[in-house]
């Protein structure tokens, strides 16, 4: 996706996250068990503040130098929206191909990397907020946008999975895995025994996991349930996937 499209999707998800969280600041967030909705908004708003500072300076920024989120929940919406407007202005006015610091494990040091990172992060956290609300009687969370989810699957496979595998302690997560989207052109073949080496192709694997792009990303990030996916072949990989947590 182009950066401008990613930023539009990011802005929509970021605003909806706040709107849902405001309905009950104390509501626990099951997929982020260390936070209630207020904690989720503090975390998300801190990311906005941090990314704006990085892209403005084009250098790494220590988050601790940026100041904490408001303790008073009544102050959270204004603080969050100021940070959202700021990062949208900074990213929207920058050349997506220009250089900046990132924490990309693949060496991508472009402003565009941050546009994708925020779009994926806030799509997932918007889902987290909606899922939390659904547990207490609200509607089921809406799926992630398919194109954003496809970007997120690629990001997870390329940027994050090798590091998660390198940590060790992921018993049962070995062999080859085929991810196959049923609603768009997203396919990955992954060799988990070779540090997560991945190729975008249709190829036979020990285990194949099929589903929508949204469901695939939610499963990869330990949010989706396996009953929303088709699993072919061995079950060890999906059954043990929860050990891989960022």
**In a shared domain, residues 218 and 181:** yes
How do strand 230-233 and strand 197-199 relate by DSSP bridges? unpaired
pTM of the model: 0.96
What share of the chain has pLDDT > 70, as a percent? 100
Q: Report residue 177 as tokens.
A: 């895995």
Residue 36 lies in a domain: yes
Q: Which residue, of 135, 170, 191, is where some domain finishes?
A: 135
Task: Answer whether residue 246 shows pLDDT above 80.
Answer: no
Residue 157 lies in a domain: yes
User: Mean of the per-residue pLDDT values for the chain?
Assistant: 96
**In a shared domain, residues 217 and 188:** yes
Residue 49 lies in a domain: yes
Ramachandran class of 207: left when φ > 0, alpha when ψ lies in -120 to 50, beta otherwise:
beta
Give per-residue pLDDT as tens, 169-188. 778 899 999 999 999 999 99
Q: What is the mean pLDDT of residues 67-79?
A: 97
**In a shared domain, residues 23 and 125:** yes
User: Total domain count for the chain?
Assistant: 2
Collapsed DSSP state (helix, strand, coil) of residue 85: helix
Residue 187 structural domain: 146-243
Give per-residue pLDDT as tens, 136-151. 999 999 999 999 999 9
**What CATH code is carried by the domain that includes residue 177?**
3.30.1050.10
pLDDT at 224: 82
- State residue 211 phi and psi, 5-degree precision: 175, -175
Residue 141 lies in a domain: no
> Between 191 and 224, whose confidence is greater?
191
pLDDT at 31: 94
């Amino acid at each position: 996706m182009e950066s401008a499209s990613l930023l539009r999707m990011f802005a929509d998800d970021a605003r909806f996250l706040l709107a849902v969280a405001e309905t009950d600041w104390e509501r626990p967030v099951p997929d982020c068990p260390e936070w209630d909705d207020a904690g989720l908004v503090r975390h998300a708003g801190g990311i906005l503040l941090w990314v704006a500072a990085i892209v403005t300076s084009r250098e790494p920024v220590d988050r601790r130098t940026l100041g904490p989120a408001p303790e008073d929940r009544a102050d959270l919406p204004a603080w969050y929206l100021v940070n959202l407007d700021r990062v949208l202005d900074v990213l929207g006015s920058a050349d997506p191909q220009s250089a900046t610091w990132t924490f990309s494990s693949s060496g991508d040091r472009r402003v565009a990397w941050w546009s994708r990172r925020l779009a994926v992060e806030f799509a997932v956290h918007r889902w987290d907020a909606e899922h939390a609300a659904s547990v207490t009687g609200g509607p089921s969370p809406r799926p992630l946008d398919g194109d954003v989810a496809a970007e997120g699957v690629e990001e997870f496979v390329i940027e994050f999975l090798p590091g998660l595998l390198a940590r060790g302690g992921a018993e049962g997560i070995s062999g080859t895995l085929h991810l196959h989207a049923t609603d768009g052109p997203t396919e990955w073949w992954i060799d988990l025994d070779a540090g997560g080496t991945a190729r975008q192709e249709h190829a036979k694997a020990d285990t194949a996991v099929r589903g929508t792009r949204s469901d695939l990303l939610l499963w990869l990030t330990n949010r989706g349930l396996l009953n929303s996916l088709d699993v072919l072949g061995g079950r060890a990989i999906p059954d043990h996937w929860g050990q891989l947590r960022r």
